[in-house]
Amino acid sequence: MAEIVTRLVGDSRLGARLDGIYSVCSAHPWVIEASMRQALDDGAPLLVESTSNQVDQYGGYTGMKPVDFVQFVHGIAQKVGFARESLVLGGDHLGPNAWRNFPAEEAMKRADALIEAYAAAGFKKIHLDTSMSCADDAPRLSDEVVAERAARLCAVAESASERAGLQERPVYVVGTEVPVPGGASEDLATVEVTSPQAALETVAVHAAAWQNRGLNAAWERVVGLVVQPGVEFDHAKVVDYDPSSASELSRVLDDLPGMVFEAHSTDYQKPEALAALVRDGFAILKVGPGATFALREALYALADIEDQLFAPDARSNLRAVVERVMLAKPNNWEKYYHGSEQEKRLLRIFSYSDRIRYYWADAEVAKATKKLVANLERVEIRENLISQFLPNQYWQLRCGLIDASPMSLIFSKIRDVIGAYAAACRT
């Protein structure tokens, strides 16, 4: 698989030997910085992706257009000292999803503009996702329609990167048989692994659509196929990877030279499961909510430490602020969290889908977070307090791997997650 990583990231001129690469799907600056710190220590490249609803030509929910996201990530890289040539930016689920309530042609015109903005901004890896039905479509699109629309968007990306004078053209990922973004919203029953026949048919139909548009050279840069390897999570449970159930699917790669599988929703998988996924050809591992879940754990643990060290009127009261803001602005969670008021309260905090991640940029929440960090920077956080609330970071502190500053503890907690992905991808 190492040659696929090379095709994806280019000649990074780094010493790391990689069998796979993890994709950090987050727009939170601390998650991105922690990931860069991990990659620096590993001497490895880093893939950071934005989703089509986070970043688009209108600003998405982050307020960033593709060129803004590039500048945002490059700014973090400059701060950390992470070389730009070792950084790969990707776009996930790029297509008409945000505009599926429009007629298909109108939605696709907007998707054209989305792809053009991503390609012109220099995004190297583009996942083309045209699987969703639009307002005047049949409830389920045929494979041929999905592939033709994806080929249309590929043509847009090729033209945009050429006009922008970019030395490197994008690489592409196709296929859409993926878990629900952010995890399942209801209790899981079973997760069906993509059949070998479906995987091969997806590739064949897409290859024909590329050929019909004269995109043969671009097809040579299709490096990945999104499939369902049998991994998923809902609010409180994780379906772990079972290599035996995906063995037939893995063998399909023998018939797809130059391609690997991309696995979505690998959040919360055991470290040994992540390593098995890479070994079995699922060489691009996506992580998003799992990283921000760790961020929330770190911040709430620090809030517990703050409670021990500061009088009530001096505290950030971060937990209460987040709960108040989430109740006042429920759009990002109320469609997903159900049950009694007590159950919804628990889900707002602890759900694996981690919809708290949409609120860290809120002005009131950001102010409380800043106060929490500032408070703890002014005091010595004793190691026995860290042992109580952040036990893994306690041992890292004792071993001299981190210090007791709040930001060091936050980055360490996020790297507990990212480090498992990095270990799974190393030869």
Residue 426 domain-assigned (yes or no): no
Residue 298 domain-assigned (yes or no): yes
Q: Which of 268, 287, 306 is the last residue of a domain?
A: 287
Longest dimension (CA), the chain: 69
Q: Taking residues 133-151, report their average pLDDT.
A: 96
Q: Taking residues 57-83, report their average pLDDT.
A: 97
Say if residue 313 is in the same domain as residue 260.
no
Say if residue 124 is in the same domain as residue 212.
yes
Residue 339 is part of which domain span?
A: 292-413
pLDDT band of 18, cuts 50, 70, 90: confident
Whether pLDDT at 183 is above 80: no
pLDDT in tens, 195-216: 999 999 999 999 999 999 999 9
Whether pLDDT at 81 is above 80: yes
Q: Taking residues 128-154, report their average pLDDT.
A: 96
Say if residue 238 is in the same domain as residue 184.
yes
The reported pLDDT for the residue numbered 3 is 59
Residue 419 domain-assigned (yes or no): no
Whether pLDDT at 178 is above 70: no
Whether pLDDT at 194 is above 90: yes
Q: Taking residues 156-180, report their average pLDDT.
A: 88
Say if residue 196 is in the same domain as residue 335.
no
CB atoms within 10 A of CB 29: 15
Distances (CA, A) of 11 to 90, 183, 284, 422: 17, 34, 17, 18
- What does the alpha-carbon distance between residue 138 and residue 136 come to, in Å, rounded to a whole number? 7
Say if residue 366 is in the same domain as residue 230.
no
Q: Taking residues 139-158, report their average pLDDT.
A: 97
Residue 343 maps to which CATH number?
1.10.400.20
Say if residue 220 is in the same domain as residue 324.
no
pLDDT in tens, 205-263: 999 999 999 999 999 999 999 999 999 999 999 999 999 999 999 999 999 999 999 99
Residue 101 domain-assigned (yes or no): yes
The share of the chain scoring above pLDDT 90, in percent, equals: 91
Lowest mean pLDDT among 14-23, 267-276, 323-332, 368-377: 14-23
Distances (CA, A) of 328 to 9, 323, 355: 43, 9, 14
pLDDT in tens, 296-346: 999 999 999 999 999 999 999 999 999 999 999 999 999 999 999 999 999
Residue 35 maps to which CATH number?
3.20.20.70
The reported pLDDT for the residue numbered 368 is 98
SS3 per residue for 324-338: HHHHHCHHHCCCCCC
pTM of the model: 0.94
CB 195 within 8 A of CB 225: no
pLDDT in tens, 365-402: 999 999 999 999 999 999 999 999 999 999 999 999 99
Domain count, the chain: 2
CB atoms within 10 A of CB 364: 14
Say if residue 276 is in the same domain as residue 399.
no
Q: Which of 287, 317, 334 is the last residue of a domain?
A: 287
Please enumerate in sequence order all residues whose Cβ is within 8 A of that of 214, keeping only pairs 6 or more positions apart, or say none: none
Say if residue 252 is in the same domain as residue 309.
no
CB 198 within 8 A of CB 250: no
Q: Which of 239, 259, 287 is the last residue of a domain?
A: 287
The reported pLDDT for the residue numbered 184 is 47
Residue 421 domain-assigned (yes or no): no
Residue 125 domain-assigned (yes or no): yes
Burial status of residue 84 (CB atoms within 10 A of its CB: 0-12, 13-18, 19 or more)? exposed
246 residue type, one letter = A
Say if residue 167 is in the same domain as residue 122.
yes
CB 120 within 8 A of CB 161: yes
SS3 per residue for 41-65: HHCCCEEEEEECCCECCCCCCCCEC
CB 6 within 8 A of CB 44: no
Q: Taking residues 157-163, report their average pLDDT.
A: 97
Residue 425 domain-assigned (yes or no): no
pLDDT band of 104, cuts 50, 70, 90: very high
Say if residue 306 is in the same domain as residue 203.
no
The reported pLDDT for the residue numbered 176 is 82
CB 139 within 8 A of CB 191: no
The reported pLDDT for the residue numbered 136 is 97
Distances (CA, A) of 180 to 28, 177, 228, 336: 21, 9, 11, 12
Say if residue 281 is in the same domain as residue 296.
no
Residue 86 domain-assigned (yes or no): yes
Please enumerate in sequence order all residues whose Cβ is within 8 A of that of 406, keeping only pairs 6 or more positions apart, or say none: 302, 372, 373, 376, 377, 381
220 residue type, one letter = E
Say if residue 333 is in the same domain as residue 282.
no
Average pLDDT of the chain is 94
